[in-house]
Amino acid sequence: MATKILLENIEAPGLATFDCYRKLGGYASVEKALKSLSPDSITQEVLKSGLRGRGGAGFPTGMKWNFIDKKSDKPHYFICNFDESEPGTFKDRHIGQLNPHQLIEGMILGSYALGARSAYIYIRGELFYVLNIIEKAIDEAYQKGFLGENIMGSGYSLDLYCQPGGGAYICGEETALIESLEGKRGNPRIKPPFPALVGLYNCPTVVNNVETIANLPWIINHGADAYAALGTLKSKGTKLISACGHINKPGIYEIELGLPVEEFIYSDEYCGGIRNGNQLKAVVAGGSSVPILPAELILKTAKGEPRLLSYESLEEGGFQTGTMLGSGGFIVMDHTACIVKNLLTFARFYHHESCGQCSPCREGTGWMEKILRRIEAGKGSMKEIDLLADIAKHIDGTTICPLGDAAAWPVSSAIRHFRSEFEEHIIQQKCPFTK
């Protein structure tokens, strides 16, 4: 049986209450840390574990913590990014709803390691029902002495606040999140300086994803070596994958990193195969922002090796034949799916969500949506396929934040792998998938 770090007790009735969580061993890592570990040794343990950020970029968590300006006499802040708005990604809300104390426990560990006295959970505004659950759990943690003044007589004090998000996808980008938390419009900041030096209220700040933070108690309880023993060379531990689309068993699965994609899609333990025995056509493996891959390239790399659910295996082949693990939103399409129509849905989303600061993204996302709308309706021209690819190319890498890239990559990859489908829309002057 594969090791579970995030979903181990997820079905325990009442897990969201302090008493149940505590009975199952909850908050042991906080006791251990505050009694016997220095903040620096926690950072070193996280570094050694090989944990990489689960928000999408996969940046090593311990390394990010080490960037914090320790000499600064300004307050330090630790922020949990619970904005979770990426289409196809629905894993963080599962932790928040069913196991909020594991997140709080991780927040205490991270805050202690970073020397933060105030920490924030910035949660997507639409998830008000999850926010209520987390706030209740925070109240309990205060009552039981795990938050507030002088936690367990250790001399360490921490206040934890839950802040509803600003209602925009861009507020999940860490610097936009910080702006929003400060009460401003959620526009991304130019980096550098990075938040570790100039973050919330211009103070040293670390922003981590919910899943990243929920891993911390296990790492402190079991040790970095035990965590690093799970997964592959560059992808340690487990990962939550939210699987949706044309599969028999959509849901949220915790996999050990390195699981073959084929096993994930077809085994009964996970997705249970394609619906109605249909053929697999394409997969968007890491949330809507990553390149789409056709069946043959998601199951095997261009070198013919089995494709694994790991950072390095999914990236194998670069953007020509590979993709990214991203945030773990695994969208499966069978042979009845229209790639152009799906792409139009994504393009509409990114156009709507562009904050408008950078011209390539503000204008380009709108142009891409407009052209895709025409092609999808069978009213486009062959030249427009190249125009679309050209716009995507000129957005990629030219914006303050990666929302522009996120809008461009699905477009360029869909044209790269499914060009004939765009052409078919133009030749038939209608969507070939519509009866």
Ligand X SMILES: Cc1cc2nc3c(=O)[nH]c(=O)nc-3n(C[C@H](O)[C@H](O)[C@H](O)COP(=O)(O)O)c2cc1C
Shortest Å, Cβ 403 to ligand X: 4
Q: 198 to 257, contacts with ligand X by CB under 6 A?
A: 207-209, 212
Q: Which is nearer to ligand X, 321 or 399 (CB)?
A: 399
Which residue number, 301 or 399, has a Cβ lying nearer to ligand X?
399
Strands 159-164 and 116-123: parallel
| Radius of gyration (C-alpha) of the chain in whole angstroms | 22
86 is written with which tokens? 């990426």
Contact string (CB under 6 A) for ligand X, positions 161-180, x = contact: --------xx-xxx------
| 110, 158 contact by CB (below 8 A) | no
Enumerate residues 6+ apart whose C-beta is below 8 A from 205. Answer: 76, 77, 78, 79, 178, 195, 196, 199
Binding mask 367-406 for ligand X (x = CB under 6 A): ----------------------------------xxx--x
Report whether 66 contacts 43 (CB < 8 A).
yes
Residues 50-89 that bind ligand X (CB under 6 A): 53-57, 59, 81, 83-86
Give the nearest distance from C-beta 345 to ligand X in angstroms.
17
| Between 55 and 291, CB nearer to ligand X | 55
Q: Could you tell me the smallest distance in angstroms from the CB atom of residue 111 to ligand X? A: 15
Number of residues that bind ligand X (CB under 6 A): 24
Closest CB to ligand X among residues 231, 294: 231
- Nearest C-alpha neighbor of 374 from the set 389, 388, 390, 395: 388
- Nearer to ligand X by C-beta: 214 or 297? 214
Site map 260..299 versus ligand X, x via CB under 6 A: ----------------------------------------
Q: How far is the CB of 92 from ligand X (least distance, A)?
A: 7
CA 360/CA 343 separation, integer angstroms: 19
Which DSSP string do the residues of 205-235 spell out, in sequence order? Answer: EEEEEHHHHHTHHHHHHH-HHHHHTSB-SSS
Residue closer to ligand X by CB (options 177, 344) is 177
- Cβ atoms of 259 and 298 within 8 Å: the answer is no
Query: Beta strand 259-260 with 308-309: parallel, antiparallel or unpaired?
Result: antiparallel
Contact positions vs ligand X (CB under 6 A): 53-57, 59, 81, 83-86, 169-170, 172-174, 207-209, 212, 401-403, 406
